[in-house]
Structure 1
Amino acid sequence: MKFAICLVSALLLAFCAIAVAGGPGMMSYQGELRDASDNPVPDGSYNVIFSIYGQSSGGTALWAETTSVTVADGVFSKTLGSSHALTYLLFEDISTYLGIKVGTNSEMTPRTRLVSVPYAVQSNRADTASVSLSGPVGNGGWTDNGSTVSLTTATDRVLINSTATTGKLVVNSTGNAIVGECTAMMGASVYGKAYGGFGQGLRGYATGASGNGVFGIADSGATIGVYGLAKEISNGKGVYGLSEGAGDGVYGESQGTGGRGVVAYASGTGMGLVATSEQSIGVFATSNKPSDGMGIFGMASGSHPTGIKGYSSGSYATGVHGEAASRYGVGIYGQAVSQDGIGVLGQADSADCVGVKGSTSGLRGKGLCGISTGPSGFGIYGENSYNNSVAIKGVATNATAGTGVRGEGASYGMYAKATYSSGIGLYAEGGTSGKAAKFIGNVVLYGITSGEIVMELGEGLDYAEAFDISEGIDIAPGTVVAIDPENPGKLTSCKQAYDKRVAGIIAGAQGLASGVRLGTGKYDKDVALAGRVYCQVEALDQNIEPGDLLTTSATPGYAMKASDHEKAQGAILGKAMEPLAKGQKGMILVLVTLQ
């Protein structure tokens, strides 16, 4: 069936009122439906598609709505926009046309041009509205080109609940003045950009207690609450905070696991975070977490970067200052997780400067503490490249129990190395009545070229040197040895009485170690040449008393009392320090005094 339509009335709402004042976005339409013979169609329900176009023919519909109309005596009424709201943007163009399609028939021609009712025309002036959606160009107000809403003149300002005399956009609110939300990847909810010198892309100012000038929240992983980027070659600042009272210039707070209150990142030769203080503290960070909290966390992932760098140009000033007020707290903590990384690096470029300085005034406190948990790592590493400079220096002002430098480690408690040919790896100077160094435990000295032990200072009582033994390593501690004439440079166990080739006693008997050991580890055995050592002794025909001179015995590896003083010349091993009864053999303590 062919249809024709006769327009009875079409009432267009004032769409500028819809947009500005929150109108319903609908339009009332009434028409009469006739067949091809110009007779009213039978009563009933008919499916109709209403479309709005910007052209009288052709083109793509700007708006469309499929609905059902009820016809009585050929007449129907319908409110358009009830399921698909109309907007004022459809009527910005002065030429707008309505197309109607009934059932499976083609859209009727010609299309009906839509016009405004008288009061809708008056609303276009908006002479009493607080904001005009469209104002004549050159007369101020807003313009909307369909994709961008903007002010028409450079001098225009926007004030919301404010009487401020400065600022392009001023919002006065008891809650959140401006809230930006962004769901796009890498997007910005609020974006500010400054082109001129000393310009500020985004500035927030808080005058009340606990107020926040700029406040950002990151609710999910890899998001950033406040992000600042400076592309200027010099003096640019990504995020700049100014505190004129007791407030915080930049304040960051992290409440989630692995979160960071303030993150600074430098991708070039610049610095991620720069803080300057003329009279106070550039950056102050505090952590209230009971354990593992960090006030400032700096990470460097590139080649030769710096996670945190502090610069001091004033007298007695501090580039980076860390303070620990609780037990086991750490003022400054640096961790290096990659090869050749540095947890905390301090550099002193002028006289009397200190690269890293630690101070403690508490009991068992540590001014500077370094911990190394990885292989070949250094808890504290100091390096100097200038003559007479010091890589690591410790000063203790406590007269009784202070320690200038103390190192603890599973491998090396402290490691010192001088790279200059005449440099000194570790230099220690004691007071007029003090000590240059104090060691608890053995001290080992290694050769520069061989890398082998050349001396060891331990808890023992004798002075020993290492020798190769003709019998090998099977010879027992406490054995008396002599020079082996058949193997130059080697020793052998003594096998004759009053042997003028006597050299000493194999050290280590009865678990008594040597106090000084030379060449240990390089040769077969350590031989005691002086001091106290346990020795194999026999009393043949008389008692041995403390103080008796001892010489070699005919029993291999044993000593005996020197009864014949003429034969004993040049064959004295030492003096007995313990008695041994006649007819007995055993280990007694001997004072080695070769004569």
Structure 2
Amino acid sequence: MYSKSVQKPLFLGGILLLLGLMIIGAPLAATAQEPSGAQSAQATVSSAFTYQGYLSDGSGAVNGSCDFTFSLYDALSGGTQIGATLNASSVSVNNGDFSVDLDFGSGVFTGDARYLEISVDCGGGASALSPRQALNAVPYALGLRPGATIEGTNAVLTGIATGTTSNNRGLVGEVTSTSGSGQGVRGETASSNSQSIGVYGLATSVSAAGTGVKGQNNGTSGYGVWGQGGSGATGVLGQTGSGSNYGVWAYNSGSGVALRAESQSGSIIEGWDLDDAVTPKFVVSNSGQVTANGGLIVSGGSGDSVSLTGSGNVLTVASSGSNSVGVYGSSSSSSGRGVFGEATASTGSTSGVRGVTNSNSNGATGVYGLATSASATGTGVKGQNNGTSGYGVWGQGGSGATGVLGQTNSASRYGVWAYNSGSGAALRIDGVGNLIEAWDISPVNRRFYVSNAGDVRADGSFSSPAADFAEMLPANDNAVEAGDVLAIGPDGQLTRSSEAFQRTVAGVYSTQPGFVGGDSEDLSGKIPLAVVGVVPVKASAENGAIQPGDMLVASSTPGYAMRGGNTPPNGSVIGKALSGLGNGLGEIKMLVVLQ
């Protein structure tokens, strides 16, 4: 033990006091010293200390019982009292020597200067000593004052908390100032070794989920842990050798962001492979662009796995492997989406999802959708537009390229299926060249096309369940209907025939024409007049039973045909019967032959 005794003569009111202050401290050493006597491993040191002194008056050393009063100040004179005033009554003084235990409480001796003011009463009245007594530390205790430097070759300062409660701390550093950039605990290293550490926290348990270093901030702003590195250094390094845990784990139990990364001009986030540390495998640039050399795999349940927003390209993924994937999205939800792209801007030619390929090989695909189920009616790529205009899917090809290619190997399905559940057109085709072309794959020959002028060319024939050609012509009779015999009225419009052997007959109202001429956008007031082919016609047996092959003319029954006989008048024949009618009125098949 090291000790130091300070004696100082003090005079007040005719009383001479010689006080000795003994402060006992333990030296810092490389090896621990066993304390004398039996000590409990769980015992803690209180904030009390022993004060010893020598008291004499004009006649010599004092003997008897005296009352002492002790007060602590932060200045030699004046200043502010620290802690409470302590009273020591009936203190035994033997040959001038006395000893008292003083306890001003915790938080009093924080390294700042302290001065002890003493008042004594040995029966003649209390007398205050002046000046106050400075309390000084023994040399090794100086190493614990604020700003002190503790040096050693190994663990120069060790704090051990043996308690079992959750709030035990081996060492606690605290900055009580409410302003300034102070640090509760600060660790520094001047070593040039790459493994040197300023602050090192170690959780030694191999079973509990302990924490080596924990930073906590109870304020409304600021940081729990702040790691700062100079030029070429890293602010915070998280490292693990585990195959199932993480070098750095960002966790937020609230509704805020778990991880926020900021960069003045460099990449915001970079991911590196330790075995191939040549270039980063994953980069988020300062402008928000994401580059992933190995592709992006996102797996989600019922919600969105990844949500990216931005004013430019918010996600760019590059893949260079032979079978690698730039972006891979997976969702286990029955109504989920593996990849969902949304452009929220209300103006501009934005794209929710855009796929681009720079490959020069045939089969390269900007966007590839695959429905793997062999039994369900799935969709590889689906485009949907909820607006009042625009397109669900837009395929655009440059010079020599195709905008949309639909392909199937099925014998019963279709390369492209156009479907409209509303009343609009299922397929619309715009172009400055041919509007439609149909090609035979083997041999490669164009078999059918529709020109920009609307001309239709086909190498083969045209088949239809209908068997006549009709012209759309205006009619002035609202009562006409399919199968009626039609005549040309005085105004040049079609009307029902009204007399036998009428020479102004023009044909029959077509029931289902195979070809229609004179069609236009405005069909109001027009009806299809069958001029060539086979049509159903209303017939009457008023001129005798009709036999197949009979020439047919208008009858006296409006809109009905009848047998014309062997010499019908010129201009009255509308066709030849293909089926018969024995009596009355009915409907038969007729070959349209105007003569």
The TM-score bracket by the shorter chain reads: 0.5 to 0.7
What SS does structure 2 have at the residue aligned with 1:120? helix
Pick the aligned partner of 2:395 from 371, 377, 382: 382
Pick the aligned partner of 1:155 from 191, 195, 201: 191
Aligned to 2:166: none
Structure 1 residue 505 and structure 2 residue 506: aligned?
no
User: For the Cα contact (< 8 Å) 2:503–2:571, is it kept in 1?
Assistant: no
Matches within 5 A, 1:178-189: 178-182=213-217, 187-189=222-224
| Closer/same/farther in 2, CA of residues 550 and 60 from structure 1, 3 Å limit | farther
Pick the aligned partner of 2:365 from 354, 365, 368: 354
Shift of 1:210: 1.6
User: For the Cα contact (< 8 Å) 1:578–1:588, is it kept in 2?
Assistant: yes
Equivalent pairs counted in the alignment come to: 488
| Closer/same/farther in 2, CA of residues 343 and 501 from structure 1, 3 Å limit | farther
Aligned to 1:538: 540
Shift of 1:506: 5.4
| Closer/same/farther in 2, CA of residues 492 and 208 from structure 1, 3 Å limit | same
Aligned to 2:243: 209
TM-score using structure 1 length: 0.60
Aligned to 1:392: 404
Aligned to 1:221: 255
Pick the aligned partner of 1:86 from 98, 107, 118: 107
Matches within 5 A, 1:470-481: 470-471=476-477, 475-481=480-486
Structure 1 residue 343 and structure 2 residue 352: aligned?
yes
Shift of 1:87: 7.3
Aligned partner letter, 2:403: A
Shift of 1:446: 12
Structure 1 residue 369 and structure 2 residue 378: aligned?
no
Shift of 1:276: 0.7
| Closer/same/farther in 2, CA of residues 569 and 403 from structure 1, 3 Å limit | same
Q: Which has the larger radius of gyration?
A: 2
Matches within 5 A, 1:210-249: 210-224=244-258, 226-232=259-265, 236-240=267-271, 242=273
User: For the Cα contact (< 8 Å) 1:462–1:514, is it kept in 2?
Assistant: yes
User: For the Cα contact (< 8 Å) 2:76–2:131, is it kept in 1?
Assistant: yes
Matches within 5 A, 1:88-237: 90-91=110-111, 93=112, 95-97=113-115, 113-117=134-138, 120-121=141-142, 130-132=155-157, 147-148=182-183, 149-151=185-187, 154-155=190-191, 165=195, 173=203, 174=206, 175=209, 176-182=211-217, 187-191=222-226, 202-224=236-258, 226-232=259-265, 236-237=267-268
Query: Quick one: distance in 2 between partners of 1:156 and 1:513?
Result: 96
Measured on the aligned residues, the alpha-carbon RMSD in Å equals 5.8
Aligned to 1:431: 441
What SS does structure 1 have at the residue aligned with 2:292? coil
Larger strand proportion of the pair = 2
What SS does structure 1 have at the residue aligned with 2:299? coil
User: What is the percentage of aligned positions where both structures have the same residue?
Assistant: 22
What SS does structure 1 have at the residue aligned with 2:141? helix
Aligned to 2:296: 283
> Which structure 2 segments of 5+ residues have no match?
1-12, 29-41, 54-65, 93-99, 119-128, 159-172, 455-462
Query: Quick one: distance in 2 between partners of 1:594 and 1:15?
Result: 134
User: For the Cα contact (< 8 Å) 2:268–2:285, is it kept in 1?
Assistant: no
User: For the Cα contact (< 8 Å) 1:576–1:588, is it kept in 2?
Assistant: yes
Aligned partner letter, 1:319: G
Aligned to 1:486: 491
| Closer/same/farther in 2, CA of residues 566 and 120 from structure 1, 3 Å limit | same
What SS does structure 1 have at the residue aligned with 2:103? strand
Query: Quick one: distance in 1 between partners of 2:72 and 2:590?
Result: 119
User: For the Cα contact (< 8 Å) 1:466–1:524, is it kept in 2?
Assistant: no
What SS does structure 2 have at the residue aligned with 1:388? coil
Aligned partner letter, 1:390: T
Aligned partner letter, 2:241: T
Query: Quick one: distance in 2 between partners of 1:569 and 1:528?
Result: 17
Shift of 1:552: 4.0
Query: Quick one: distance in 2 between partners of 1:552 and 1:484?
Result: 14
| Closer/same/farther in 2, CA of residues 297 and 122 from structure 1, 3 Å limit | closer
| Closer/same/farther in 2, CA of residues 553 and 266 from structure 1, 3 Å limit | farther
> Which structure 1 segments of 5+ residues have no match?
33-41, 101-107, 134-142, 158-163, 252-263, 439-444, 449-456
Aligned partner letter, 2:265: E
User: For the Cα contact (< 8 Å) 1:537–1:587, is it kept in 2?
Assistant: yes
Aligned to 1:258: none
User: For the Cα contact (< 8 Å) 1:494–1:556, is it kept in 2?
Assistant: yes
